[in-house]
Structure 1
Amino acid sequence: MTLTAAQIWLIAFGTVYVAATSFWARQCALREAGTRRFLSATGELPAWIVALALAAMSLSAWITLGLPDDVARAGFSGAGLALATIPMALLGVATFKRQWQAGRRFGARSQAQLLAFYYRSRGFAWLSGGLATLFAVAFAAVQLSVLGRLMADLSGGGIAPEPATWLLSLMTFSYVIVGGFYAAGALGALQCVLLGAGIVGLAIAANDLGGGFSAINAALAKLAHDPANAHLFRVSGVVRFVAGADDAGGWTSALVLSTALALAGVQASPIATQLLLSARDDRAIAAGQTWVLAAFFGGLCVFGLVLVGACGMIASSGDAVGDLLVRLGAGSPWFMAAIYFALVAGFQALAAASVITAARGLVRDIFVPDFMPELDGRTANLIGRICVGVLMLASVLLATRAPAAAVSLGALALPFAAQMLPALAGLCWLRWISPPAALVGAAIGLATAALTDSFGLAVMDFVGLHLPWGRWPWTIHSAGWGLAANVATMLVISAITPLRRANQRAATLNELFAGLGASRPAARGVRSMAWSAALAWAFLGVGPGLVFGNFALGDAGGGLDAWLLGMPPLWAWCLAMWALGVILVWLIAYKLELATSPGVDIVAVDRGPAGRPKTRGLRVDHLEALLWTLSGAGALITAMAWIFGH
């Protein structure tokens, strides 16, 4: 069989990419030989590598592939999602430095250990481990499925979607199983560079194939002149009181805000904390969140990815990235192959870190402390490697055998991760949040997020309980509903429960942060102005004020002469909000010193969360309790389904 030019270049770039990742994974494995740190790299990764890896993980292929398609289908109201990099960066600026400092003081190696130790609750270890598993299996499966189908399209059918999906999974598995967490983190920096280059390449290709920026805007103006397309160039309102967002007829500002919170949830995930705690120091947090995530990737999203989506809108294509790459492959197959594997690199930045974090959570944070406290490190690492293989096998099987289930289940990962925000806020800032309030609030938030999303609604239908709302009721994303229930529960329980269980450790953190975070006079002078600016930006950028973008910079339907910046007014508004958002992140990160490093060594003052029960051998009683709980839950669901006729 004669290979086409596109197939040859895909094979060539794929071979080079696999060789590079395998080489560096091997180097990382040799560096870590004998350390028994396959499941973690605490304090070993250079800070700049962690900063780049965090940025790549935050974008991944989820936004890179999804944002242009949202713009192509829903219009420039979807462009508001490109501003999500600003809330992501603000969240990182507000919590990352204090998480790292608390981890050093308490000797924590993961989010599970950090929260379980601070709140004195094993529930957080199980919650964090389960959340990491959801990312490693379902969230990764969605991206695997999309990238596998895209490879099949780009190869002209030379590779079927299912083998392509298995191939991509094997590429990730090959370097994770060799290099462990150190390789996942170190390669994350390389993948960050590749992802950025890939987005730049997509924007260049879209601009070239669209005839240039002026021609694209002229075509958009012609499209906007038709009243039937008016909804593509405006936000449809602040909120719509409908059963589900699918009935709203377009994006509202409430949906943009709540979806931005969901996307920011990746910064609160166990994967982000694991990477953060792997850094040698906290010196790159400010630069990583301000210049890499907010400025560089934020600019690429709000201009480059929206440009790709605009070209898809003009072509009436719901698959903007896929169609663009297919067209590019016909004339420049090498460029197409390079962009495709840059997108693969973005996927692997999150997939590799999530699978190793999930394996660590299941083995080190759950199985060892709760079921086999005396397990030695070598055996734990062996079980961890097996766990990595099982998780990746589950992900690829879900992607190939049940893609619809992967989409509905994977969609829960980000809103679920957002439910960790109140607990992290309690750790970093709000000492009055009691341990029961943090844990119960997170549990209620998870349940609420599930019941306002597709997967939870499908489960309720299965057991015969038909809820009177649809996905994302009142055009509010499930992350927003979950956070509302989470915070309300946390406030009520904190008001009625004592803080004795966390007082000692809260006092330790208060002393630590007070000693390291003494503000300079200049910082005190701008504090109130900075937080007021943050609220104003949230209102205008991703909140109700986004509707001003419909008309503030011109009349969308008035043609090019009515567009003040020569581009659709709502798109121009988003660009302006991005520029202001970068200034805001810089102000809070540097002037308020929330992300700058104090340059002081932190000494652990406690034995930390690594302490284990003194029981020897396998905890059969705990294992039996877990099996009985799972069996009872399964029996209850089966009985309810049978009773209601399913």
Structure 2
Amino acid sequence: MEVDAKIIWLFVFVALYWAYCFWGIKGALTARTASDYFVAGRQISLWVFILAATATSFSGWTFMGHPELIYRDGFQYAYASFYAIAIPFTGVMFLKRQWMLGKRFGFITPGEMMAYYFKSDTVRLLVVLVALVFSIPYLGIQLRASGFLFNVLTDGLLEVEAGMWLLSVVVIIYVASGGLRAVAYVDSAQAILLSGGIMIIGIIAINAIEGFGQFTQGLAALTAIDLETGKAAFGETTPDGYSAYVAIPGMIQYGAGLGTDSAPVGGAWTGIMILTYMFALMGIQSAPAFSMWAFGNKSPEPFAPQQVWASSAGIGFILMVFAALQGIGAHFLGADSAFMAAHPELVNPVMVEVLQKIGADDLLHSPSNPDMLVPQLVYLMSDLAPWLVGILAVCALAAMQSTGAAYMSTAGGMLTRDLIKRFIIPNASHIQQKFFGRLGVVAIVLTALVFATASNDALVLLGGLAVAYGFQMWPALIAGLIAVTLTENIGAQYMPWGRWPMTIHSAGWGIFLNLGLAILVSAVTQNADEHRHRMTFHNFLRQHAGLSASKKGLVPIAWIITITWFFFGIGPGAVIGNWIFGDPADAATWLFGIPSIWAWQLLWWVLGIFMMWFLAYKMELSTVPEEEIHALHEDIDDIQMDIDRPS
């Protein structure tokens, strides 16, 4: 049997990628202490962190899932591209301060930091729980997606489950052997592959459409409203009578909930839904793993450039433009059978040809089943440039493994430090800690693989909880986790309100309950001794991270800029963007030749970069402290912590 050229190139580039991944062996040789292994000896350098943190923030879901949902839901969902700003916004709020505390007190895990601050082991266990619930389903989704991609690109030669297990072997080896240092160096290359791959696939899509002019003509036809019925010819119609592909369905929809008889009209992505969904994605950099990234840095110097330029500007541009071209453009490449039947003159049916080649005619013929979108766009290059298929497959694999590797490493560290060392082997040596850390990595990956193999549906349900749980770390309370569970699929199916009631994401319900309880409990349970203990942290941060007197007057301006951006850019005020730059139903009125909603998103993306610059640099939330931070100890173990163990 003759082997397809693209399959040969696929395995050639995967082999080269794996060879680079074995950088982890160098990490293993240099990891002499627990601090070396779990937080890279606090020596992660500027460019390594910028690239590695970017790769960790934007996973295979950005590469594979994001364009697919833009295809299904249109530009109302494309507001999710603002997570290029929302994710590092959390970093602006917390990373510099966590680095300072880690440097000062020798924290290695966020559980140690929380336990020392609250003088409680209960909160330590809560942090480990969040880390595991975040890491296992999130990792399982990434690994299964890699198996699915390689199943498509090898024409079924590699089964999904077999590919998933095989592709996991190398990531287990380099993460378990080298710890966070190995993850950081491999993630640096993965960031370049991730961003470059998304751009190349976007270029492939617009080239197959035969130019941007053809793209906008197709977009005008796709979003037109039938004058006789007042309904959208394709997809849903919003309550205002616009196509749901180019308009969000209002600020909020009371009484609506997914999975109930009162489902949202015109799509789920109302203004409040977009805002609270961004809250969920902000959970990525407030999840416990990113605290360990903060502890691992040599200094806070890389925080601001990563948050402002690499993420907000760089990834933001890629998502706003190239991911949109992939998602919307698929309608004009044969992915949408209804549109192709109505406007054959606007469709280049190359995706139909791909499906016929791989014998899967019905996998992608309606916006309700877009799982094959990105693999098909990659497959388009099989005959023209089979070597490019190999490169793009590695880009996708790197995107999927970048986040997974970081969560494997950090979760293994938390299992070791916050469970085994705290409760089972208090005097564990550095060698023992590294050993248990490696066992933790293997256990986490195997658990994720078993979940992914046994039940993909269950994995998706758990994955929906992951980032929403991460956001509850803003005030770490169990109440928020309960609220998230009861408003996500896994719990909402048993509740009368359904998933995301009132078009508010589960992360929103969780944070509302957490903040309310935190304020109430704090008001009635003040303890003078505990207050004095906590003030040692706050006084330290005020001394080293406080604003200079000359900048105190900028605080109200910072609040105004931030609240305005969140309200109009990604919140209820974004409804203005439906029509301000032209009638969504009349392409002749589109001021910039593109739908008003897309122009609005691009405008607020630019303003979002300015907001991030103002907060990170001008307000000094992510800059290097003027005074040098002196470590009291290299490891928190050297401090006698006054924490009562649970009885």
Q: Same fold (TM over 0.5)?
A: yes
Indicate the residue corresponding to 1:384 in structure 2: 437
Question: CA 1:523–1:65 in structure 2 vs 1: closer, same or farther (change >3 Å)?
Answer: farther
Q: Does 1:412 align with 2:430?
A: no
The 1:503–1:36 alpha-carbon spacing in structure 2 relative to 1, beyond 3 Å, is closer
- Structure-1 residue corresponding to 2:246: 233
- Local SS of the residue matching 1:353: helix
**Quick check: 1:408–1:455 contact (8 Å CA) kept in 2?**
yes
Amino acid at match of 1:157: G
- Could you give the per-residue CA deviations for residues 73-111 of structure 1, whole angstroms, max 9, x where no partner exists? 111100110012222222211211111112212221111
Distance 1:288 1:498 in 2: 38
Q: Which residue type is aligned with residue 619 of structure 2?
A: L
In structure 2, relative to structure 1, the CA distance for the partners of 1:209 and 1:367 (3 Å cut) is: same
**Cα distance between partner residues in 2 of 1:397 and 1:83:** 33
Q: CA deviation at 1:64?
A: 2.5
Tell me, in whole angstroms, the C-alpha distance in 1 between the residues paired with 2:196 and 2:556. 38
Q: Which AA in structure 1 matches 2:565?
A: W
CA 1:271–1:400: 2 relative to 1, 3 Å: same
Inter-partner Cα distance in structure 2 for 1:4 and 1:126 = 51
Aligned to 1:108: 107
Task: Give 2:559's aligned residue.
Answer: 531
Following the alignment from structure 2 to structure 1, what is the Cα–Cα distance between the partners of residues 547 and 130?
35
- What is the correspondence of 1:120-269 to structure 2 with a 5 Å cutoff? 120-226=119-225, 227-229=232-234, 230-245=243-258, 247-248=263-264, 249-250=266-267, 251-269=269-287
Aligned residue in 2 for 1:511: 539
CA distance in 2, matches of 1:470, 1:490: 26
Cα-to-partner distance string for 1:282-339 (whole Å, 9 max, x where unaligned): 1111111010111101111111112211112443252332221222334322222212
Matched to 1:304, the amino acid is F
| Alignment of 1:421 onto 2:490 | no
Following superposition, the deviation at residue 20 of structure 1 comes to: 0.8
2:587 matched to 1:591? no
Q: Amino acid of the residue matched to residue 589 of structure 2?
A: A
Of the three residues 382, 407, 421, the one matched with 1:368 is 421
State the Cα deviation string for residues 179-220 of structure 1 (Å, max 9, x = none). Answer: 122101222222112211112212211221221222111111
Match of 1:352 among 400, 405, 418: 405
Q: CA deviation at 1:501?
A: 5.0
Q: Distance in 2 between matches of 1:137 and 1:89?
A: 22
SS of the residue aligned with 1:601?
coil
Aligned match of 1:310 in 328, 348, 351?
Answer: 328
SS of residue in 2 equivalent to 1:7? helix
Compute the displacement of 1:555 (Å): 1.2
Q: Secondary structure at the match of 2:603?
A: helix
Counterpart in 2 of 1:438? none
Counterpart-to-counterpart distance in 1, 2:519 and 2:406: 33
Which residue of 596, 601, 611 corresponds with 1:574? Answer: 601
Conserved? CA contact 2:252–2:272, under 8 Å: yes
**CA distance in structure 1 between the aligned counterparts of 2:294 and 2:634, rounded to whole angstroms:** 21
Instruction: Say yes or no: does 1:449 pair with 2:481.
Output: no
Q: Which residue, 556, 562, 576 being the options, matches 2:589?
A: 562
Question: Equivalents in 2 of 1:509, 1:95: separation in Å?
Answer: 14
Give the 5 Å matches for 1:55-74: 55-74=54-73
Judge conservation of contact 2:223–2:246 (CA < 8 Å) in 1: yes
Q: Equivalent pairs: percent with the same residue? A: 31
Indicate how the Cα distance of structure 1 residues 383 and 608 shifts in structure 2: closer, same or farther if over 3 A, else same.
closer
- Aligned-partner Cα distance in 2 for 1:469–1:495: 31
Match of 1:51 in 2: 50
| Alpha carbons 1:71, 1:310 under 8 Å: kept | yes
- Verify the 8 A CA contact 1:82 1:298 in the aligned structure 2: yes
The structure-2 alpha-carbon separation of the partners of 1:516 and 1:36, relative to structure 1 and needing over 3 Å to count, comes to: closer
Identify, as 1 or 2, the structure richer in helix: 1
Q: Which segment drifts farther, 168-177 or 28-37?
A: 28-37
Q: Supply the distance in 2 between the matched residues of 1:47 and 1:456 (Cα, whole angstroms).
A: 42
SS of 2:380's equivalent in the other structure is helix
8 Å Cα contact 2:177/2:438 also seen in 1: no
Q: Which residue identity is paired with 1:341?
A: V
User: CA separation of 1:13/1:502 partners in 2, compared to 1, >3 Å: closer, same or farther?
Assistant: farther
Residues 478-527 of structure 1 show CA distances to partners (whole Å, capped at 9, x for unaligned) of 11111111111111101101143542343222332232235346533433
Q: Is the 8 A contact 2:95 2:622 kept in 1?
A: yes
Q: How does 1:87-102 map to 2 (within 5 A)?
A: 87-102=86-101
Residues in 1 aligned to 2:533 and 2:386: alpha-carbon distance in whole angstroms = 58
What is the SS of the residue equivalent to 1:556?
coil
| CA deviation after TM superposition for structure 1 residue 57, in Å | 1.0
Residue 6 (structure 1) shift: 1.8
| 2:551 counterpart of 1:546 | no
Give the whole-Å Cα distance in 2 for the aligned partners of 1:25 and 1:49: 14
Separation (CA, whole Å) in 2 of partners of 1:336 and 1:573: 34
Rounded to whole Å, the distance in 1 between the matches of 2:33 and 2:620 is 39
AA in 1 matched with 2:616: A
- Tell me the distance in 1 between the aligned counterparts of 2:98 and 2:572: 31
Residues 34 and 142 of structure 1: CA distance in aligned 2, closer, same or farther (over 3 Å): closer
The equivalences for 1:391-402 within 5 A come to 391-402=444-455
| Residue in 2 that maps onto 1:328 | 381
**Distance in 1 separating the partners of 2:438 and 2:635:** 25
Determine if contact 1:7/1:158 at 8 Å carries over to the other structure: no
Deviation at 1:588, TM superposition (A): 1.2
Q: How does 1:286-305 map to 2 (within 5 A)?
A: 286-305=304-323
Distance 1:188 1:499 in 2: 44
Q: How does 1:455-474 map to 2 (within 5 A)?
A: 455-457=490-492, 466-474=494-502
Q: What residue ranges of structure 2 are gaps of 5+ in the alignment?
A: 226-231, 235-242, 337-363, 365-369
The 2-side partners of 1:152 and 1:546 are apart by 40
C-alpha distance in 2 between matches for 1:387 and 1:532: 45
One-letter identity of the residue aligned with 2:205? A
- The DSSP-based 3-state class of the residue aligned with 2:326 is helix
| Contact 1:25–1:176 (8 Å) recurs in 2 | yes
Q: Return the alpha-carbon distance in structure 2 between the equivalents of residues 222 and 228 of structure 1.
A: 9
**Counterparts of 1:36 and 1:81 in 2: how far apart (Å)?**
36
Question: Aligned AA for 1:236?
Answer: P
Once the 2 structures are TM-superposed, how far is the Cα of residue 456 of structure 1 from its aligned partner? 2.1
The separation in 1 between residues aligned to 2:585 and 2:274, in whole angstroms, is: 22
Deviation at 1:575, TM superposition (A): 0.8
Q: Is the 8 A contact 2:109 2:417 kept in 1?
A: no
What CA distance in whole angstroms lies between the structure 2 residues aligned with 1:138 and 1:506?
34
One-letter amino acid of the structure 2 residue matched with residue 18 of structure 1: W
Tell me: CA distance 1:178–1:510, structure 2 relative to 1, closer, same or farther (3 Å). closer
The alpha carbon displacement at 1:422 in A equals: 2.2
Letter in 2 for 1:306: A
Mapping 1:610-625, distance limit 5 Å: 610=637
Q: Secondary structure at the match of 1:547?
A: helix
Secondary structure, in 3 states, of the residue corresponding to 2:155? coil
Q: Secondary structure at the match of 2:37?
A: coil
User: Which whole-Å deviations, capped at 9, do the CAs of 1:377-429 have from their partners, x for residues lacking one?
Assistant: 21222222122112111111211221111110121110000000124xxxxxx
Contact 2:106 / 2:634 at 8 angstroms: preserved in 1?
Answer: yes
**Counterpart contact for 2:271–2:571, Cα < 8 Å:** yes
| 1:140 positional shift | 0.9
1:282 is matched with 300
1:321–1:613 CA distance, 2 compared to 1 (3 A) = same
Maintained 8 Å contact 2:112/2:124: yes
Kept in 2, the 8 Å contact 1:117–1:609? The answer is no
